[in-house]
Amino acid sequence: MKPLDEARAEVLASLPSLSTETVPAVQSLGRVTAEPAVTLESIPPFDNSAMDGYAVISLDTTDAPVELTVIEDVAAGSVPTKRVEHGAATRIMTGAPMPEGADAVVKVEDTESPDRDRVTVRCSVDAGRNVRPAGGDMSPGDVIVESGTRLTARHVASLASAGVNPMVSILPTVAIMSTGDEIVDPATERLEPGAIRDSNRALLRAMLAELDVPVLDLGIIGDDPVQLRAAYEKAAAEADLIISTGGVSMGDYDYVKQILGELGSVEFWRVAMQPAKPFAFGTVNGVPLFGLPGNPVSTFVSFEQFVRPALLHMMGATRILRTRLIGIMGEDVDTSEAKTVFLRVLLAQDANGPFVAVRSGGQGSNVLSGLANAEAFAVVPVGVGSLSAGDDVTLEMFNWPEGRRIDE
Ligand code: AMP
Ligand code: MG
């Protein structure tokens, strides 16, 4: 059996990289930067007021209270026309450009204005008070986002403010198919004897939707060499990555193995992990292929451990593995010492304490009910085997984005 880390490193090293494109900042959510995104401008572009109030010469306020003459009003979006001289002030709104001459803003709460032309400043202000200088956020040449970053809403906002359209990886098209004569459409109301509904494609589509990649759904392919061959050929012609499920274990009708053997260079691996030990990886007409085990929980685990990191890696992301943290096991568990075991767990947390993990249900690789509500993997490494209630345990959080590099 191959150790998981070794298998994953081998997979990543063999993947092609994708081409790049420039996209508008507002359409860049979830995309991975292919180069550092750099601002060419100062942000903010001009000195402006941080408060609604009065732009003044700070020295004029030293002996506050002091009365000043209001020479004009400047709202955000308009431009001051008059220079502030000693004894004068400009009524100014948050975000409006500072008038020449003024070096501070007195906030409106610290003033009284008997009429439009006069203001009494009650407190003194220092130079620079309540003024946001040009370039205070970013200056020309500043890197907004490093290369290899999967863009979040927060990055998008920063790019938008600088008017920068980032260079990003294209989104890979992913072909998916379920294989097996027993598999039927999930919309099937009454199951024939021996039939089961296709949960794997539902799972894959949903997991891929989270990565925003286009999906080529080739549907359910029976255990039939002609159909399988046609499906893999179409997938290789139209997609950047292929995922099929089923047919990679030891069964008699596993034509998947035969066809993959004929069409491409595919290896059948036994990875030291549970669930999801059997697993095929290679290329079909040069396009990377993952042949995932048919059991739905195995499909989930191998997607999380191999396919998702592979897609993020192809897109050039530096962080491709989900965030891990240390929690506490809430019950005794006995697992296989020879494999990395991914228990599906529920988490509880008292106040600000560590997460406490208990199994979320049945741990069989066919048991979806235990997976549905799970919040994390409790990862039991090779050589550990059993854990007792109260032991530290590594948690890999399902709903947290990838926070780890491959070597972390
Ligand atoms: P296989 O790897 O084809 O031998 O399938 C292993 C197990 O997973 C069998 O019990 C299959 O019925 C089940 N299975 C295979 N494909 C799917 C699917 N798309 N949805 C749900 N279960 C499946
Ligand atoms: Mg099968």
Selection from 89, 151, 93, 147 nearest residue 121 by Cα:
89
Show the tokens assigned to 408: 């972390």
Judge if the beta carbon of residue 251 lies within 6 A of ligand 1. Answer: yes
Q: What pairing do the DSSP bridges indicate for beta strands 273-274 and 340-349? A: parallel
AA letter at 109: E
Kindly report the CA angle at 336 between 330 and 340, in degrees rounded to 5? 80
Q: Which residues of 139-190 form beta strands (DSSP E)?
A: 143-145, 167-169, 174-179, 183-184
* Ligand 1 pocket, mutate which of 295, 301, 366, 368 (most atoms under 8 A from CB): 295
| Separation of CA 246 and ligand 2 centre (Å) | 5
pLDDT recorded at residue 168: 98
Cα distance between residue 216 and residue 235, in whole Å? 8
Taking only the tens of pLDDT, the chain with its 408 residues reads: 899 999 999 999 999 999 999 999 999 999 999 999 999 999 999 999 999 999 999 999 999 999 999 999 999 999 999 999 999 999 999 999 999 999 999 999 999 998 999 999 999 999 999 999 999 999 999 999 999 999 999 999 999 999 999 999 999 999 999 999 999 999 999 999 999 999 999 999 999 999 999 999 999 999 999 999 999 999 999 999 999 999 888 776 678 888 888 988 898 889 999 998 888 999 999 999 999 999 999 999 999 999 999 999 999 999 999 999 999 999 999 999 999 999 999 999 988 899 999 999 999 999 999 999 999 999 999 999 999 999 999 999 999 988 888 877
pLDDT recorded at residue 408: 73
pTM for the model stands at: 0.93
Cβ atoms within 10 Å of 7's Cβ, excluding its own: 20
Kindly report the CA angle at 166 between 160 and 172, in degrees rounded to 5? 125
pLDDT recorded at residue 184: 98
Cα distance between residue 302 and residue 249, in whole Å? 14
Judge if the beta carbon of residue 15 lies within 6 A of ligand 1. Answer: no
| Separation of CA 200 and ligand 1 centre (Å) | 8
- Contact in structure between 42 and 136 (CB atoms under 8 Å): no
Show the tokens assigned to 175: 């072909």
**What pairs with residue 176 in β-bridges?**
217, 243
Please give the C-alpha separations between residue 341 and each of 239, 338, 377, 392, in angstroms, as whole numbers.
32, 9, 9, 15
- The verdict on whether omega for the bond into residue 114 sits within 30 degrees of 0, i.e. cis, is no
Judge if the beta carbon of residue 249 lies within 6 A of ligand 1. Answer: yes
Judge if the beta carbon of residue 296 lies within 6 A of ligand 1. Answer: yes
Residue given tokens 């009429």 in the structure block: 115
pLDDT recorded at residue 252: 63
Backbone angles phi, psi at 20, to 5 degrees: -125, 165
Please give the C-alpha separations between residue 333 and each of 88, 271, 345, 360, 381, in angstroms, as whole numbers.
76, 22, 12, 13, 13
Atom of ligand 1 minimally distant from the CA of 254 = 3
pLDDT recorded at residue 214: 98
Judge if the beta carbon of residue 196 lies within 6 A of ligand 1. Answer: yes
Cβ atoms within 10 Å of 400's Cβ, excluding its own: 14
pLDDT recorded at residue 257: 83
pLDDT recorded at residue 227: 95
Q: DSSP letter for 99, please.
A: P
- Contact in structure between 145 and 37 (CB atoms under 8 Å): yes
For residue 250, give the ligand nearest its CA: 1
- Contact in structure between 291 and 266 (CB atoms under 8 Å): yes
Domains contained in the chain, CATH given: 4-18+171-314 (3.40.980.10), 20-43+136-169 (3.90.105.10), 48-132 (2.170.190.11), 322-402 (2.40.340.10)
Q: Which long-range contacts (CB under 8 A, 24 or more apart) does 59-66 make?
A: 59/86, 60/86, 60/87, 60/121, 61/104, 61/106, 61/121, 61/123, 61/124, 61/125, 62/124, 63/124, 64/121, 64/122, 64/123, 64/124, 65/120, 65/121, 65/122, 66/120, 66/121
